Structure 1
C-alpha cells in the first residue's frame, strides 16, 4: 500500500486535522497531489542560468524582457527571491484541462510527466492542486496595486473562481468576463454552439487597483462633444433614484434649478436656506411656489427634482459643493416628457475620450483563428495550436497596467504576451517589461517562444522590427548541502539572479 503524508502524524495531529475539516462549512475541497518539481525545490536551491547566445541587444533605452525556460513552479519559486511584491500585472493562459486527447494520445494538461485524460476520476482535483501551488507563489509576486488576469473555459472556470476566491480573497474579485473567441459558434459542441471563453480578473488589494478605460475609436457609437474643459459625453442623470432618493432622505438636496438658453444656474444661497427648516423638520412648499413664480417672470424655466409619478425626490449633487463647482457640467436635454438633466462624463485618459470596458470582451480581432494566423505569419508555419490573438492580450494588458508595468506570464506558450508588450510599448512609447516563463516540451521555448520574439524585435518578411532587448535563462539547481565547489557555483549563479532583480 502506498505511503501517505499523514503516516507519521500523531493521533493529536490527525484529530486536529479532522476538526479543521469539520469546521470548514463552505468552499472548495480537493485532494492535494504531491508534485515532483515542488518537492525538488524544497530539497535543492532553484536558480536561473543565462544562455548568453540568445541575448538580443537593440536599444539600451528600451526595456529588457526575459524568457525563463523551465517548469513554471521553479521559475515562480525563483522570482520570489528577485521580484517579490514587484509585479504589476500577471496574465496567464493555463491548461484548460479538457481531458481531450490528440492524435498522439496527449491532452492539454500534464502533471508529473503524466497526461491527465478525461476519464481520470481525479482530473479536477489534480488540476486544482497544480494551479493552487502556482497561484499562491504568484500572489506573493504582485504589488498591492497589482492585478492578475486568467484565461479559462467551461471545464474549470467555476473551480478556478472558487480557488481564486480562496487565494486572493472573494472581495478582490474584479470580474469573470465572457470573452468572445468565435462569434459563429463551435458547431461541434452539444446543445449550444460555443462562442466564448472567460477571463477572470482579481486584484491583490482591490481598493488599490485600477482598471483603465479603452480609447474611443472614431467609429464608436459613443457620441462625444467638446467644451472649454475638453471632451465629454452624456453621463448619468442627476435626479436621484434607487435607495434614499426622496427629498426627506437628503433634505438639503431638494431645491429648484434654473434654466435659460439650455444653461443651468442656481437660486440664491439665502433662498436655498429657506426651503427646509431644520428646527421644525419641514419643507416650505409655499416658498418654493413663490420662487418658481419669481424666476419664471425673469424668463427662466424652473425644474424641480420630481419624477413621472409626481414624487418629490432630490438631486444627486448638493447645493453647497457639487453644484457650485460643477454647474457647467450639467447637460440639458428636451424630450416630449419635459426636461432631463445629466452630468457630463469626462474621459480618464488625458484629453482622449474613453469608455469603460463592458462585462463581455469582444472585438472581431479576438477570433481564435487570428492567433494561429499571426504566429504562422511570423514563423512561416503552424507552430502552435490556437495561441491567443495578439489584440486580446494587448487589450487586457492595456486595461490592467501602466506604461511602465512589469508584466509576468508564467504559462507563456508561444509568447503572445511578449509580442503584445513589445507592440504596446511601440504604440504609446511605454516602458513595460515582460517576463515569460514556459517549459521546453516539444522544444516550444527554443523553437517557438524565443524565435517569435526574436523576429518581432529584428523584423520578419516585410515587417520592420520593434527595438527591444531580450535575455534568455534556463532553470538549474544547486544542492542545499554544499561542497566548496557547490558554493562557488551558487555564488556565480546567484549573481545572475541579482542581475535579474
Structure 2
C-alpha cells in the first residue's frame, strides 16, 4: 500500500520533469548538462560583469525558500466559517508564503486574477520573515518578531543596511509562487507606493517577464491634498499590472456618462451617433493624397498627411453612409454610432473618484459595517470592483488576495457578483497578526487582523442582501470556509536517541493525538491537489465514516478496526458512485485509509486485493 507524501508539491522536481520533456538531450545520468542546455537555447558565454543583473543581499536564499516544499497543512475551522457545506470561498489564516506553497497542487493555473496590497516599506513594523514551524505563535517567536510574551521586537528601520533587501526577500518567493497559480490568461494587480515601486517593477520583470508588463496605473488615493506636506503632497498610489501572457487584453469599459455627445437629431435608424472628422492618415503615403468631389461639385483637398483610406475604400464608406458630406458640400464627416462602440481601453490614470474611490471613502465603508474604527488603511470597494471588471473576471473565476487585510477583495467579489449574477470565488490569505493592545480594534474585541477580515465578510454579505431585498440573490455565495495553517497532522520521526523508546512507541500511531479526522481529510485533499471547496459527502458504512469527495474522485476512511467486510462494503459503494472506464479497464477512484486503521496485517494485505477485484488500483495509506 502506497504511503501518502506529507510534503507540498516539489517545485524543483516538477520543473526538471518539464525540462526533460522539452530538452531530453541535455540530461545525462539524470543530471542537467548546462553547457548543452545553453547550446540548445542558442546562447553563448557572456562576461558576467558586463551583463545587466538585478540583485540584492539575500536573493539566492529567497529563491531557495520559494523552492523548498512546505511540511505544513491547513486545518478546517468550521465554527468560524459561514455556510460551510455550500460555499466556494476560502479564508485562510497563516503566513502566506507557506499557504501559497500548500496551494500549488490544488490551484495550479486556476486563478484568473490576483490582487495584493502588500506591506509598504515605510520603516515601521515589518513582520514577514520566513521560517515556519507549527503555528503562528511559534512562527513569530522563531523569527524574532515577538518575545515569549508576545511583545513585538522587529522593525525594518531605514537605518538598517538591508532596508530594501529585506523587503525584496519577503516579496520574491511569494510572487514566484503566486505566478504558478495564475491561469494562462490571468493577471496580477499590485498596489504599492513610491518607496519600493522601482524595485518592485524590476522584481516583477524578472518573475513575470518584461514582455508581460501591462501598466503602472496611478490611482488617486485621496480626495484632498495634505496641506502639511513638507515638499509635495502624496495623493496617489501605484498599481503595477502584469499578465501571465503578453497577449492578454484588459476589458474595455464603455462609459456612457462620457458619451453624451452622441445624438440622433435626424432619427437615424441605427440610433445615436457622432459625426467626427478623424480622416487624416497617421502615415502619409502618396496614394492617399487625392481630391474628393462633393455632391455640390466642391473639390475637397486631402489633409496634410493624406486621407486615412484609399479612394476606393472611402467611396464604399460614402455609399454605406459611414462617411457623409456636410450640407454645404465643403467637408466630410465620419459617422460613429454609439451601438457600435465597444468601449475604450482603460486608462492607466485612475483619477475618477466616482469610479475607483479614495481612502477616506473606504474608511466610511468599513465604519458602516463595523462602527468601532478598527482598521487604518482599507482599500475602497470601488477600486477593487473596477479591477475585477477590467481584468475580465466573470462566471466562476477564482480571485486571490494573499495580503487580505480588512478583506476588501472578498467584499468586492460578493458585491460585483450581486450586480452581474456571476459566481466568482475568492481565496483570501492573511497572517493573523495581533492587534496592538492599545488599539481600538483590540478594545473592540478583535485580537488579530483575521478576526477583522472575517467579521467584515460576514457583515458585508448580509448588507448586500439587505440592500438588494428586491432582487433574487438566493444563489449569491456570501459564505467562506476558514482554514488555518499548522504543522502536518502526521508525526515526523524524531531521531533523538535519548528518547528512543518513547519515539518507537509514538511511531506506532503516526497521527498526532490532537488532530481530528477532518484535519487529516483536508491534508489529504491538499496532497492530492483537489479543490478545497469540493462537495464532501459523509456515508456510514458498517458503522465506519466514509468521506466521498467530489462525487467519487476520492474516497477516504479514517476510522479504526477496519475489517474485510468493511472494505468490501466500501468497494460496493465506490462501484455505485464511479463509472467504469472501459478503455483503461478500471475505475478512476482513489481510496485512502489510515496506516493503522486495519484490524490486523492480514486485513491490510487483503484490502488491496479486494479493491482490485472492483477495478480500483489506487489505494493509499497515511
TM-score by length of 1: 0.73
- Deviation, 1:387, is 0.7
Deviation by residue 1:320-366 (Cα, 9 ceiling, x = unmatched): 6797479647455869996354463767887xxx4432221023352
Compute the displacement of 1:449 (Å): 0.6
Measure how far apart 1:28 and its partner are: 2.3
For the 8 Å contact 2:74–2:485, the answer to whether it is kept is yes
Deviations 1:374-414 (A, max 9, x none): 11211121111121111111111111123223111111100
Residue 94 (1) aligns with residue 118 (2): yes
Corresponding residue number in structure 2 for 1:206: 246
Tell me how far 1:157 sits from its aligned partner.
Answer: 0.9
Distance 2:326 2:75 in 1: 69
Of the three residues 277, 281, 296, the one matched with 1:240 is 281
SS of the aligned residue for 2:239 comes to strand
Gaps (5+ residues) in structure 1?
Answer: 1-12, 14-18, 102-106, 261-298, 308-312
Alignment-derived partner of residue 602 in structure 2: none
Taking the aligned partners of 1:348 and 1:119, their CA distance within structure 2 comes to 58
Spell out the pairing of 1:419-430 with structure 2 (5 A cutoff): 419-430=411-422
C-alpha deviation, 1:35, in angstroms = 7.8
Distance 1:139 1:71, change over 3 A: same
Alpha-carbon distance change, 53 to 324 in structure 1, aligned in 2, over 3 angstroms: farther
Counterpart-to-counterpart distance in 2, 1:236 and 1:82: 54
Partner residue of 1:29 out of 55, 62, 66: 55
Cα deviation code 1:164-187 (max 9, x no counterpart): 111111121111111111242223
In 2, Cα distance between equivalents of 1:37 and 1:24: 23
> Could you tell me which of 402, 416, 425 is aligned with 2:408?
416
Q: Paired residues, what number?
A: 422
Q: In structure 2, what is the equivalent of residue 485 of structure 1?
A: 510
- 1:30-109 to structure 2, matched below 5 A, reads 30-32=56-58, 42=68, 44-57=70-83, 64-99=88-123, 101=124, 107=125
Structure-1 residue corresponding to 2:346: 357
Q: Give 2:485's aligned residue.
A: 475
How far apart, CA to CA, are the structure 1 residues paired with 2:239 and 2:340? Answer: 24
Structure 1 304/444 Cα, relative in aligned 2: closer, same or farther at 3 Å? farther
In structure 2, relative to structure 1, the CA distance for the partners of 1:233 and 1:341 (3 Å cut) is: closer
Provide the residue aligned with 2:457 in structure 1: 453
- 1:117-172 CA-to-partner distances (Å, cap 9, x unmatched) read 22212111110111111111111111121111111111111111111111111121
Distance 1:240 1:36, change over 3 A: closer
Instruction: Quote how far apart the aligned CAs of 1:447 are.
Output: 1.9
CA contact (8 A) 1:46 1:77 kept: no
The residue aligned with 2:384 is: 393
Residue in 1 aligned with 2:360? 369
**Of the two structures, which has the highest relative contact order with CA contacts closer than 8 Å and spacing of 6 or more?**
1
Secondary structure of the structure 1 residue equivalent to 2:400 = strand
Q: CA deviation at 1:47?
A: 2.4
Q: Give RMSD over aligned pairs.
A: 3.8
Confirm or deny: 8 A CA contact 1:97 1:156 kept in the other structure: yes
Structure 2: runs of 5 or more not aligned: 1-33, 35-44, 130-142, 146-153, 435-446, 494-506, 534-622
Bigger fraction of residues in strand: 1
Distance 1:190 1:499, change over 3 A: same
